[in-house]
Amino acid sequence: MVCPACGSAVPAGVRYCARCGAPMTATHAEATHNPYTVQPPIIGHYPPGVGPAIEHALRATRVQRNLQTLGILWFVFGAYRILGGLIGIIFIKAITLHSLSSNWPFGDNFGHNSPPWLLALVPVIAVVTIASTILAFLVGFALLNRKPWGRTLAIVAAILALFKPILGTALGVYTLWMLAPAASAMEYESIAERN
């Protein structure tokens, strides 16, 4: 026999499908032996205690299953960007002063004998770190709270994150895989409208 709801093979005499929990009726069992009879699938009729969990699992689609994880990963990426920026500033400080003095980061002796182009990197690193961290946290907030503009912002941030090797690239690919397709756009819109 074949389950009318999910199409999996079911042994004869079984009352419920082991995979999805749909009831196996006698009329359906007879219909599977007659190739000219087509029965509509039985949806929403599950044994007591099994129905809500199975219905939720069937309705949970790719975006809905991955949205929580993706939002958390964007928060983690924002924390990673802060850490990377601080390490970059400390590294430049160590190179320019050959030591870490008490006037860090912008004291009077900062860059006393350093080339000016190296000192110009400190504010650039600080601005890039702050901007990318705010963007990552904003994307994480928007996805976790199902904001209508969250998908668009996540796609833009994912494209920018592709240029940050390893972690940024992995997160950018994962975000684009999940949110860029047209089917994902419709699903995200329906999720955002419900919240």
- Tens of pLDDT, residue by residue over 132-191, are 999 999 999 999 999 999 999 999 999 999 998 899 999 999 999 999 998 888 889 888
Q: What are phi and psi of 45, to 5 degrees?
A: -110, 100
Average pLDDT over residues 9-32: 68
Q: Are residues 165 and 110 in the same domain?
A: yes
Domain stops at, among 9, 43, 59: 59
pLDDT in tens, 53-97: 554 444 457 788 889 999 999 999 999 999 998 898 888 777 776
Domain of residue 30: give its range: 1-59
Q: What are phi and psi of 189, to 5 degrees?
A: -60, -40
Q: Are residues 39 and 54 in the same domain?
A: yes
> Treating both helix axes as pointing N-terminal to C-terminal, what angle do 62-97 and 150-161 enclose, rounded to 10 degrees?
40
pLDDT in tens, 23-56: 776 544 444 555 554 444 454 455 555 555 554 4
Q: Are residues 11 and 69 in the same domain?
A: no
Number of domains in the chain: 2
Distances (CA, A) of 57 to 4, 18, 23: 17, 15, 17
3-state class (DSSP) for residue 23 = strand
End-to-end CA distance of the chain: 41
